[in-house]
Chains A and B, each alone.
Chain A
Amino acid sequence: MRQRLQNIDFLGVILWIFRTAIIVAVIWGTIATILDNPYTTENWFDFIVFGIAQGSLYALIAMGYTLVYGILFMINFAHGEFYMSGIFTATIFVAIPMSETGFLNRHPIPALLIMGVVAMATSMGVAVLTERIAYRPLRRAPRLVPLITAIGASFFWQYFFRGLYGSGITAFPTVDVLKGSITLGGLEILKTQVVVIVASIFLLIGLNLFIMRSKTGKAIRAVAEDKDIAALMGIDVDRVVVITFATGAALAGAAGLLYALLFRQIHFYMGFIPGIKAFTAAVLGGIGSVPGAALGGLLLGMFESVGPSLFLEGLGIPSSYQLKDVIAFTMLVLILIFKPQGILGEPLTEEKA
């Protein structure tokens, strides 16, 4: 008993108080909101659907972070720019001309597919180029070096595309077939949100099959396990790294198109905040883990959407939606303190940590 008491240190106590305080605040807020419930069931359903739609975008972008971290143990902070580059290019060169000629509304499905292909191809091109020029020469450098290079690459691409397409806001054209909402068991869901959620589910299942079933996927997993031994087994590590970057970027490009359908505003800085949020989602779920990043993204989106109404309003906090980022990043801090490996992450070995 005395032994256990001696093991309790000051920091541990503080962290316990911190954790308890947050849990009490969340429960208190939730109970107060539910007792006072100003919202109808439809409202709560709406909050959840908004959260899932936003969360599936985070999940798709988070895949890029988690895949690259899985094999290189580096945080690719330029990933948000891969996402921006694809949809920006597709909007300027495909979506706007197609909308002006009327092709978009006459043949919406082929038009959207072409946009998707252009967005994904551009994102992949940018990613492969960044990997080749900025990251590969630093493969054996200390781990802080590629991290800083990634931040530099992020700025480079932002201002490159700003120079290319301008610094204003470009509106993504409206697709007529996706206007309005459908009724599902008495509840209304926006068509764009249905598209975003369904497409994300397909892409995530596709990614999982690719990693788990295909030969290339096997090679990716082998390189993630141990680069040097994988190389000894005849795997071309550089090629696998390029494929990994390209896969993550393709999903980011697809996420860009889905984002454009949902929010219809494109500008050169649009990759920054989703990039940070997706990184948060990846850490939340367990960086390096594919299902973890998907779960992290969904949870983050849901908490951002439901959290302010559910936890904060009951506590009597005015303008609670201003604090939605606080909820997102508090979750990140809590996870980093109490489960550094993330929700689904495996405990980190000495070498990977």
Chain B
Amino acid sequence: MKRTFLALSLLLTAALVLAACAPAEAPYDCTDEIGCVDIPPGDPVRIGYMLVISGPNESLGVDSRRGVEIAIHERPEIHGHPVELVGEDSLCSAEGGQTAATKLVSDPSLVGVIGTNCSSAGEPASRIVSQAGMVLVSPSNTAPSLTNPDDTWNPGYLRSCHNDKVQGAAMAEFVYNELGVRKAATIHDGSPYADQLQEVFANTFVELGGEITAQEAVNVGDTDMRPVLTSISVTGPEFLYYPIFIAEGAFITVQAKEIGGLEDTILSGADGMISPDFIEAAGEAAEGMYISGPDLGFSGPVAERFFELHLELYGEDPISAFHAHAFDAANMILDAVEKVAVLDADGTLHIGRQALRDALYATSGLAGMTGTLTCNEYGDCADPKISVNEIQNGEYIAIWP
């Protein structure tokens, strides 16, 4: 009797369960190799950012965060799910990138991450985000090694900014052909960005027929640059390229003017120093410096709308160099999510992680603010346009090409 009752009740339960399911299709079956993100109805699609939003390079990160925010402002929903932005401060160091990435990937509902700003933070972050199955699109990691599969590239890593193979070569050409310089020296700060950029510059400069008189290095956090500058001045360079960051860059700029033998040397840096904070820190000494970086002469309806919104939301014009690249990076992720997301009848959104990666690497002909973006298999997506700016009356004025 008891047994029959049990069997009957089991049957009944099974029937009820089946009846409940019957009108819906079979439950979504995730066939993705590295898993899926399932977003229940009403829950947001979570996108992360990790940028440098404190410390001396704060303006770099705040500028790119605004680019991401504007992209989300323009596309607040994907398939009826709101888009939510969460973020961490990745600083401008490997430790910062490691911490921020570890913290962000601990949230399994995160779809993808925009970041980092500094290549030093990008190296560990790329590895951690890749292992978590997510995607990382950087708006400003320019070090060549990050998209080199034999070096620190990881699956799921892409960037919307130029590779410094382009920037270093462009700067060398400008210096050799336009300025007519034949003897140059470089300084880096041990970060992958600065080290690799000055190396590309130096190699191209030598290929063009120039001479590199010294390749020195300082540490992040150093203040007294006079000894290293004295040491460089002995080699008699006409041109000094130090593609480093704001604090140390400003120390070198100010102190170089005080070193005998470097008074007439042309000073020059790169995109890590495009910020009003650099002008403020270096003061008059920055006048006449040449700064290489992405071409910021954006035009077209997308750019006009962007600048209009930027002024409206933040009450000022963009403050650094990578807002547009961040805007494009966010749009790359949002486009790819839109493409691969599968919407259930009950409103649950399913995003296959490998499918998302594939969609991102397949990005082709995306009309972004920085140009037409097409990704190669290792995630170099930029339409690289480099320009050289001269600092005139505290403003970055594009003078070449």
Please report the C-alpha to C-alpha distance between residue A265 and residue B55 in the assembled complex, in whole angstroms: 13
Q: Which of B55, B215, B233, B246 contacts A269 (CB 8 A)?
A: B55
How big is the B interface, by class? 35 or more
Q: Tell me if A238 counts as interface (CB < 8 A to partner B).
A: no
Q: Which of B219, B224, B231, B277 contacts A309 (CB 8 A)?
A: B231
Residue of chain A at shortest CB distance from B231:
A309
Residue of chain A at shortest CB distance from B190:
A322
Q: Digit string of A278-318 for contact with B (CB within 8 Å is 1, else 0)?
A: 00000000000000000000000000111011000100001
Q: Which of A39, A264, A306 contacts B234 (CB 8 A)?
A: A39
Contact A321 to B56, CB < 8 A, known contacts A169-B246, A169-B277? no
Contact A174 to B283, CB < 8 A, known contacts A168-B277, A169-B250, A321-B216? yes
Stretch at the interface among A18-26, A40-48, A72-80, A222-230: A40-48
Q: Digit string of B103-114 for contact with A (CB within 8 Å is 1, else 0)?
A: 000000000000
Q: Tell me if A273 counts as interface (CB < 8 A to partner B).
A: yes
Q: Digit string of A56-75 for contact with B (CB within 8 Å is 1, else 0)?
A: 00000000000000000000
Contact B218 A321 (CB under 8 A): yes
Contact B227 A167 (CB under 8 A): no
Q: Tell me if A50 counts as interface (CB < 8 A to partner B).
A: yes
Known: A47-B230, A174-B284. 10 other contacts (CB 8 A): A39-B230, A43-B230, A43-B233, A47-B227, A168-B56, A168-B280, A169-B246, A171-B281, A321-B217, A322-B217
Interface residues of B in 260-309 (CB under 8 A from A): 260, 277, 280-284
Q: Tell me if B223 counts as interface (CB < 8 A to partner A).
A: yes
B-chain residues with CB within 8 Å of residue A259 when the two chains form the complex:
223
Please report the C-alpha to C-alpha distance between residue A38 and residue B55 in the assembled complex, in whole angstroms: 38
Contact A50 B250 (CB under 8 A): no
Q: Tell me if A190 counts as interface (CB < 8 A to partner B).
A: yes
Contact A43 B218 (CB under 8 A): no
Contact A319 B231 (CB under 8 A): no
Residue of chain B at shortest CB distance from A50:
B226
Please report the C-alpha to C-alpha distance between residue A170 and residue B279 in the assembled complex, in whole angstroms: 11
Q: Tell me if A325 counts as interface (CB < 8 A to partner B).
A: yes
Q: Tell me if A188 counts as interface (CB < 8 A to partner B).
A: yes
Q: Tell me if B378 counts as interface (CB < 8 A to partner A).
A: no
> Shortest beta-carbon distance, A263 to chain B, in Å?
5
B-chain residues with CB within 8 Å of residue A169 when the two chains form the complex:
56, 246-247, 250, 277, 280-281
Residue of chain B at shortest CB distance from A325:
B219
Q: Tell me if B370 counts as interface (CB < 8 A to partner A).
A: no
> Shortest beta-carbon distance, A274 to chain B, in Å?
8
> Shortest beta-carbon distance, B94 to chain A, in Å?
16
Q: Which of A39, A42, A51 contacts B260 (CB 8 A)?
A: A42
B-chain residues with CB within 8 Å of residue A54 when the two chains form the complex:
224
Residue of chain A at shortest CB distance from B247:
A169
Interface residues of A in 151-166 (CB under 8 A from B): 162
Q: Which of A171, A190, A272 contacts B258 (CB 8 A)?
A: A190
Residue of chain A at shortest CB distance from B218:
A321
Contact A167 B283 (CB under 8 A): no
12 contacts between A and B (CB under 8 A): A43-B230, A46-B259, A50-B227, A167-B54, A168-B280, A169-B277, A259-B223, A264-B281, A309-B227, A321-B228, A322-B218, A324-B219
> Shortest beta-carbon distance, B208 to chain A, in Å?
22
Q: Which of A181, A269, A321 contacts B227 (CB 8 A)?
A: A321
Q: Tell me if B251 counts as interface (CB < 8 A to partner A).
A: yes
B-chain residues with CB within 8 Å of residue A269 when the two chains form the complex:
55-56
Contact A263 B246 (CB under 8 A): no
Q: Tell me if B254 counts as interface (CB < 8 A to partner A).
A: yes
Q: Which of B56, B215, B218, B222 contacts A318 (CB 8 A)?
A: B215
A-chain residues with CB within 8 Å of residue B217 when the two chains form the complex:
319, 321-322
> Shortest beta-carbon distance, A144 to chain B, in Å?
25
Contact A305 B224 (CB under 8 A): yes
Q: Tell me if B59 counts as interface (CB < 8 A to partner A).
A: yes
Q: Tell me if B335 counts as interface (CB < 8 A to partner A).
A: no
Contact B247 A305 (CB under 8 A): no
Contact B227 A308 (CB under 8 A): yes
Residue of chain A at shortest CB distance from B226:
A50
Please report the C-alpha to C-alpha distance between residue A250 and residue B258 in the assembled complex, in whole angstroms: 30
Residue of chain B at shortest CB distance from A270:
B223
A-chain residues with CB within 8 Å of residue B258 when the two chains form the complex:
181, 190
> Shortest beta-carbon distance, A322 to chain B, in Å?
4
Please report the C-alpha to C-alpha distance between residue A332 and residue B256 in the assembled complex, in whole angstroms: 30
Please report the C-alpha to C-alpha distance between residue A272 and residue B250 in the assembled complex, in whole angstroms: 19
Contact A167 B58 (CB under 8 A): yes
B-chain residues with CB within 8 Å of residue A47 when the two chains form the complex:
227, 230
Residue of chain B at shortest CB distance from A307:
B227
Contact B227 A264 (CB under 8 A): no
Q: Tell me if B221 counts as interface (CB < 8 A to partner A).
A: yes
Q: Digit string of B238-258 for contact with A (CB within 8 Å is 1, else 0)?
A: 000000001100110010001
B-chain residues with CB within 8 Å of residue A272 when the two chains form the complex:
221
Please report the C-alpha to C-alpha distance between residue A46 and residue B259 in the assembled complex, in whole angstroms: 9
Residue of chain B at shortest CB distance from A267:
B56
> Shortest beta-carbon distance, B162 to chain A, in Å?
25
Contact A43 B234 (CB under 8 A): yes
Please report the C-alpha to C-alpha distance between residue A175 and residue B19 in the assembled complex, in whole angstroms: 85
Contact A171 to B283, CB < 8 A, known contacts A188-B260, A322-B190? yes
> Shortest beta-carbon distance, B135 to chain A, in Å?
30
A-chain residues with CB within 8 Å of residue B215 when the two chains form the complex:
318-319
Most buried by A among B219, B223, B251, B254: B223
Q: Which of A40, A267, A304, A320 contacts B247 (CB 8 A)?
A: A267
Please report the C-alpha to C-alpha distance between residue A1 and residue B282 in the assembled complex, in whole angstroms: 66
> Shortest beta-carbon distance, A60 to chain B, in Å?
15
Most buried by B among A40, A46, A319: A319
> Shortest beta-carbon distance, A240 to chain B, in Å?
34
A-chain residues with CB within 8 Å of residue B250 when the two chains form the complex:
169, 265
Please report the C-alpha to C-alpha distance between residue A51 and residue B188 in the assembled complex, in whole angstroms: 22
> Shortest beta-carbon distance, B228 to chain A, in Å?
4
Please report the C-alpha to C-alpha distance between residue A264 and residue B223 in the assembled complex, in whole angstroms: 10
Please report the C-alpha to C-alpha distance between residue A319 and residue B59 in the assembled complex, in whole angstroms: 29
**What 9 pairs between A and B have smallest CB-CB spacing?**
A319-B217, A322-B217, A321-B228, A169-B281, A305-B227, A50-B226, A263-B223, A54-B224, A273-B221
